[in-house]
Amino acid sequence: MSAFSATRVWAVLIKEFKQLTRDRLTYAMILALPVVQLLLFGYAINSEPRHLPTAVLVQEDSVFARSVLSALHNSAYFDLVAQARSPAELDELIRRGEVQFAITIPGDFTRRVARGDKAQILVEADASDPSATGPALAALAALPTQALVGDLKGALAPRMQARPAFEVVVHRRYNPEAVTAYNIVPGLLGVILSMTLVMMTSLSVTRETERGTMESLLATPVEPIEVMIGKLAPYVLVGVAQTLIILTIAKLLFQVPMLGGWLGLGVGVSLFIVGSLALGFLISTVARSQLQAMQMSFFYILPSILLSGFMFPFRGMPGWAQALGEIIPVTHFLRVVRGALLKGQGLEDMWRELAALLAFVCVVTALAMARYRRTLD
């Protein structure tokens, strides 16, 4: 009786296997997970981002200037998407995050190159995410020796031999020392809030269904919106507490710069907390067990980490992945947090991201209300 019995092992094995085939959704997700991860890591993530949006301010219309711009373009790292007309406009484009680089070719560029008198172009980089700008900035090193090869002929040919025809001055803005933590730590705020809040609330309704208390609750006069608000409100406090803890640690341990943008940050955090909670609630109205709720939450969190620009530069991803990333609320939340803390963005700079978060809250709440059943049908 006490000896090892293969039949008993067989009994347990058969039972497990049968149960495994009964919960198809759970195991479908387990099988889908490696596929999704492989596709995302294999195709979407690019640690050497190219084709970064670049704005230029060209203060002289010359052959040399055009040659420099076409050399930048040919490097494949820079996509010239905007022509600024003034330094202020250029500054706004980079502060709002519409471009990664702002390049100024000064008015005396041609004259100085011709004279061999310390010609310069200015490249300002939004270095809040060092990994997004690093490779592109490294590629700039070759620019001075190559950009003007075709132009410096005849009398100007000696300019090529002596030393590089001009100098590239690089300003790394928002994170001059390229400290990765400055970018990662604010990003973690979005990831941590997503993980805890979505998961916790996704279990809340499923738990009632699993324990059988849902039937009693539904037999009372309580309305769906009352259940939702009542269930989510305690977690709003949890979210606020987490935010304060993360920001405090970010300041004290990681010395993350906090330039301001507190109003926008406050609005963004509030919308994001409410939206994440509502999403968890929505998941819990779909999932039939707590296990399924956990898995669905995980399926939301995985792309939130990979495609939001949290771990890998958003602009390094191919177009389809960026389009997917735009749907993910964390993407917009990260832009709000980084914009506020690292760039001191105001409401006028980040209203698009805040509007996206507001839309997220509205859509998810409406779906959750539509999904929540007043009856057991």
Partner 1 sequence: MTLAIDVHGLNKSFGDKHVVQDVSLQVAEGRICGFLGPNGSGKTTTLRMLCGLLTPDSGEGTCLGLNIISQAGAIKRQAGYMTQKFSLYEDLTLEENLMFSARVHDLDRRKDRVAHALERLGLIERRSQLAGTLSGGWKQRLALATATLHEPKLLLLDEPTAGVDPKARRTFWDEIHALSAEGLTVLVSTHYMDEAERCHEIAYIAYGQLIARGTADQVIAGSHLVTFNGEGAGIDRLAGEISRRPGVEMAAPFGAALHVSGTDRAAVEAAIAPYRREPFRWTEVEPTLEDVFIQLMDGAEDNFR
Residues in contact with partner 1 by the rule CB under 8 A: 211-222, 374-377
CB nearer to partner 1: give 348 or 377: 377
CB of 237 to partner 1, least distance (A): 19
Contact 172, 178 (CB under 8 A): yes
Closer Cβ to partner 1, 218 or 363, answer by number: 218
Shortest separation between residue 274's beta carbon and partner 1, angstroms: 23
Taking every pair of C-alpha atoms in the chain, what is the biggest distance, in angstroms? Answer: 102
Pairing relationship of beta strands 167-173 and 78-83 according to DSSP bridges = unpaired
Strands of the sheet with 78-83, listed across from one edge: 78-83, 52-58, 101-105, 120-126, 167-173
**Residue 230 tokens, joined:** 């009542």
Nearer to partner 1, 238 or 311 (CB): 238
How many C-beta atoms lie closer than 10 Å to residue 236's C-beta?
15
Q: Which residues pair with 104 in a beta bridge?
A: 57, 122
Q: Which is nearer to partner 1, 219 or 252 (CB)?
A: 219
**CB closer to partner 1 out of 224 and 344:** 224
49 phi/psi in degrees, rounded to 5:
-65, 135
Give min distance, CB of 301 to partner 1, in A.
Answer: 27
Token code pair at residue 33: 């997970």
- Smallest gap from Cβ 211 to partner 1, in A, equals 7
Q: What are the phi and psi torsion angles at 132 (to 5°)?
A: -75, -35
Going by DSSP bridges, is the β-strand pair 101-105/167-173 parallel, antiparallel, or unpaired?
unpaired
Residue 374 Cβ vs partner 1, minimum distance, rounded to whole Å: 8
Minimum distance between the CB of residue 288 and partner 1, rounded to whole angstroms? Answer: 15
Considering the complex, state which of residue 19 and residue 216 has its C-beta at the smaller distance from partner 1: 216
Q: Which is nearer to partner 1, 213 or 248 (CB)?
A: 213
Q: Give whole-number Cα distances, 130 to 6, 93, 95, 255, in Å.
A: 58, 18, 16, 16
Question: What's the closest the beta carbon of residue 375 comes to partner 1, in angstroms?
Answer: 6
CB atoms within 10 A of CB 270: 16
DSSP label at 127? T
